């Protein structure tokens, strides 16, 4: 999924809840998501997961 489609979906979710987003807010959301994905990748690495699958998604989330 392209970044533009992701931004559009994020805007739609907030719009459904009657919340407007500024460009700064979208950038902060984007940064937050990026950091969370980085954490997930590191958890996979430390958990010795070479290929993340639905069955191993709990490792990326940090659940044991």
When pLDDT is cut at 50, 70 and 90, the band that residue 64 belongs to is confident
Buried b (16+ CB within 10 A) or exposed e, 14-23: eeeeeeebee
Check residue 3 and give its pLDDT: 75
Q: Which two tokens stand for residue 13?
A: 């979710």
* 59 vs 44: CA distance, rounded Å: 6
Cβ contacts of residue 56 below 8 Å, gap of 6+? Answer: 44, 49
- The structural domains of the chain, with segments of one domain joined by +, span 3-61
Mean pLDDT for 43-51 is 97
């Amino acid at each position: 999924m392209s970044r533009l489609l992701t931004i559009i979906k994020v805007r739609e979710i907030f719009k459904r809840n009657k919340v407007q987003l500024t460009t700064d807010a979208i950038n902060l959301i984007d940064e937050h998501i990026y950091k969370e994905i980085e954490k997930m990748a590191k958890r996979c690495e430390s958990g010795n997961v070479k290929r993340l699958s639905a069955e191993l998604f709990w490792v990326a989330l940090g659940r044991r």
